[in-house]
Amino acid sequence: MNLASGLLPVLLGAASVLVLCTLLPLWRKEAWWVRGWDFPRVQLLGYGAAILVGVLVFLQPGAVPTRAIWAVTLACMAYQAWWIIPYTRLVSPEVAPAVGASPAHTLRIITANVLTPNREAARLIRLVREADPDILVTLETDAWWETQLAPLEEEYRYTVKCPLDNLYGMHVYSRLPLTDTHLEFLVERDVPSIHALVSLRSGDRVRAHFLHPAPPSPTENPESTERDAELLIVAESVADCTIPVVVTGDLNDVAWSSTTRLFRKISGLLDPRVGRGMFNTFHADVPFMRWPLDHVFHSAHFRLGELRRLESFGSDHFPLFSELVLDAEVSAASQEGLDADKDDKVLAHEKVAALDVKKDDVPAPGEAPGSGPRSPTS
């Protein structure tokens, strides 16, 4: 047996695995072992490239098996590339850059999943001092982290705190006034979210939602039902909002998944990463297995001043820094996101209907009384 014939079954098997991993996410089943394949599209693209190199080096050109492997591998790679190309510089940015930004109209946010057992609080505080955000959102923060971050309250005196030891604690620290604040458990009784009205220095008000839904995984929820429902009721809640909106947090979903795309379609919010890069925030310690789990989405009222991943501070997530600039001249016509069709709305309704939740459960800071639940905490 020569080398080519010996490697043919290996390469056929490798191509079959690629086909399976590519097709699984097309199945609408919400099990973690299906939805998990939404994540490693870049890695699967690289895996496909390695298969093609093996075919070029070891197999006979023009043979039927060779052509078959080429065809299925290239088809899978093209499909994976379709999902991730928007998060490269090969497309035009979805959000226009801010030019001559006024500090009074600027909102600077750091979103940081701290990893509860991590004890490098001093490094995070240093990053905050250097980046100088208006708002710091921390995720996975427990009572220990709350104590360690207390020095920030001298400057960031508007706070909403929810220390938990279940990896879902959440804190918001703001130097800008926070009003109409809500701490809610929208879908799961131990997974919080924070909602508030932020007043910019210009006097403009921004409706903000800070989220950290639980992921589908063998150690968390066996299905993505809870995560998807939380994202979609927030999407439905902000869809008709007339004031500026920001949604940020660790959404435990990648930017290019079908669920995140559905969130963008239903909400009408924009993703500043489109046309700029992936800004992979997880996993900080495993370079070849990284994807964008920490997000910032916003309404078309904003242009982008800056978006960057900050350095590691001991967590498994990198912090994400975003600078959004409110611009009265910008419009939805000049910054177009994704549009929802009838099928998208039906799918969103089905996902939300799977649990006893609805968009009216989501606080609507800044809207008229009666438009949503009111249980302020600050």
Distances (CA, A) of 11 to 47, 49, 325, 375: 11, 12, 50, 59
Residue 65's pLDDT band (boundaries 50, 70, 90)?
confident
Q: How many CB atoms lie under 10 A from the CB of residue 293?
A: 23
pLDDT at 356: 86
The CATH number of whichever domain residue 299 belongs to comes to: 3.60.10.10
Per the model's pLDDT, the better-predicted residue between 192 and 28 turns out to be 192
> Is residue 289 included in any domain, yes or no?
yes
Q: Residue 129 sits in which domain range?
A: 103-361
Q: Do 75 and 159 belong together in one domain? A: no
Looking at the fold, whether 221 and 345 belong to one and the same domain comes out as yes
Whether residue 255 is predicted with pLDDT greater than 50 in this model: the reply is: yes
Q: Are 269 and 302 in contact (CB under 8 A)?
A: no
Do 150 and 248 belong together in one domain?
A: yes
187 and 336 in one domain?
A: yes
Domain membership of residue 367 (yes or no) is no
Residue 153 lies in a domain: yes
Tokens coding 269: 């919010």
Sheet hosting strand 106-113, strand order edge to edge: 158-162, 170-174, 135-139, 106-113, 320-326, 302-309
Q: What is the pLDDT of residue 236?
A: 97
Max Cα-Cα span within the chain: 78
Amino acid at 12: L
295 and 211, same domain (yes or no): yes
Give the separation between CA 21 and CA 5, rounded to whole angstroms: 25
**Residue 368 within any structural domain of the chain:** no
Average confidence (pLDDT) over 287-305:
96
Compute the C-alpha angle 291/17/226, nearest 5°: 45
Query: Is the confidence at residue 37, as pLDDT, over 80?
Result: yes
- Please spell the DSSP secondary structure of 141-188, one letter per residue: --HHHHHHTGGGGGT--EEEEE--SSS--EEEEESS-EEEEEEE-SSS
Residues 34 and 107 in one domain: no
The answer to whether the Cα torsion of 218, 220, 226, 230 is positive or negative is: negative
Distance CA 12, CA 229 (A): 39
Q: Are residues 272 and 193 in the same domain?
A: yes
Kindly state the tokens that stand for 30. 């919400």
Q: How many C-beta atoms surround the C-beta of residue 63 within 10 A? A: 12
Is residue 373 in a domain?
no
- Please say if the pLDDT value at position 325 is more than 90: yes
Contacts of 341 (CB under 8 A, 6+ apart): none
Same domain, 209 and 240: yes
Number of separate domains in the chain:
2
pLDDT in tens, 161-172: 999 999 999 999
Model's pTM, two decimal places?
A: 0.93
Residues 45 and 188 reside in one and the same domain: no
- pLDDT tens sequence across 212-233: 999 999 989 999 999 999 999 9
Is 135 within a domain?
Answer: yes
Q: Distances in Å between the alpha carbon of 295 and those of 232, 260, 306, 338?
A: 15, 10, 14, 16
98 assigned to some structural domain: no
What does the pLDDT look like over 108-158, one tens digit per residue?
999 999 999 999 999 999 999 999 999 999 999 999 999 999 999 999 999
Is the pLDDT assigned to residue 374 strictly greater than 50? no
Q: What is the mean pLDDT of residues 176-182?
A: 98
Which amino acid, residue 151? P
Q: Shortest CA distance to 135 belongs to which of 79, 206, 55, 87?
A: 206
List of residues 6+ apart from 211 with CB closer than 8 A: 193, 230, 231, 234, 247, 248, 249, 250, 251
Kindly state whether residue 127 falls inside one of the protein's structural domains: yes
Q: pLDDT-derived band of residue 378, with 50, 70 and 90 as boundaries? A: very low
Q: Tell me, yes or no, whether 267 and 309 share the same domain.
A: yes
Task: State the pLDDT at residue 368.
Answer: 59
* pLDDT classification of 175: cutoffs 50, 70, 90: very high
The HSE-up count of residue 101 (CA atoms within 13 Å, CB side) is 19
Same domain, 151 and 110: yes
Mean pLDDT, all residues of the chain:
93
- Is 117 in the same domain as 79? no
